Each structure stands twice: as structure tokens, then as C-alpha cells.
Amino acid sequence: MKKRILYISMICLMIDQLSKALLDHFLELNQSITIIPSFFRITYVRNEGAAWSLFAGNQIFLIIMSFLALYIIYVYFIKNKVLDKLELWSYGILLGGIFGNLIDRLIRGYVTDFFDFTIFNYHFPVFNIADICIVIGVFLTIISLWKGENNGNDRSNRKCQKN
């Protein structure tokens, strides 16, 4: 794996895991602290599923899907490819997020979530830093792929040249 992707992933993973450890230390389960009334709270919840608690209680399935996603991203997007800066950042952030939630599932059996928003009277599902990394990583990957297609570059077939 490219070293820069590894560094970016490790930084995202450390920030995610540190935030969850601090949350676990300072708050009780389901405790909430209002930051901006009627908009943003820090709420300590445990999510045994994926986004919106999909597949709740199916940790083995979610763990397998995480490993499969890591494998696909590495083999099809990173391995033996020449990557530009946007791709390095997008894959690094994405992998860091996947690893953050995967570690929670493997060690705790659930994912710790805490960002709690109400937007236009809709109580958005509680999420964490790993989730933010996954969303940003996917968004940047889409931009990178779109940018490559618009420039006539077929990034999927660019191979690393050995010196």
C-alpha cells in the first residue's frame, strides 16, 4: 500500500478511536450534551448495525462486508496504480473510516456513535468520525473518478512503472 495512504488512514483511525475513547470515559451510555439547542448534541449511543441501524445484530455480516470493501478498494483502486493527490487522500480517508468502524465491531461488537443532529425537524441518525471519513472518502473518490473520465484518463488501468 502507498505510504501516504497508510499515513492518512492512520491519522483518521487515531482521531476516530480517540474520540470514541474520550466519549466512553466522560459520558454514560445514552447520555446527551446539548451543544446547539434543537440542532446539535453529543449523544453516546451504541449502533449494532450500519447506517440507520441497517443489518442490526448482524455483526459477522458487517465485519465480512468491511473486509470485502477493504479488499476491493485495495485491489481495484490502489494496488499497482499511479495515484494523484486527490486519490491518495480519498482512499486514505475512506480506509481510515472503514478501519475505525471495523475495529469497533471486532473489539466491542458494536459501533460507538455520538454526533446527534436535528435538521429541519428531522432527527438524523447518530454517527461518528469514521462515518464522516467514509462519506468524505466516497465523495472524493467519486470526484476523482469523474475528473479522470472528463479528462479522458482511464485511471482503472494506470499501472505503476517499476524503476
Q: What positions carry a catalytic annotation?
A: 113, 131
Whether residue 74 contacts residue 1, with contact meaning beta carbons closer than 8 Å, is answered with: yes
DSSP structure class, residue 127: B
- The neighbouring-strand residues paired with 46 are 112
Whether residue 159 contacts residue 81, with contact meaning beta carbons closer than 8 Å, is answered with: yes
Chain-centre distance for alpha carbon 99? 7
Output the nine-digit C-alpha cell for 87.
Answer: 486519490
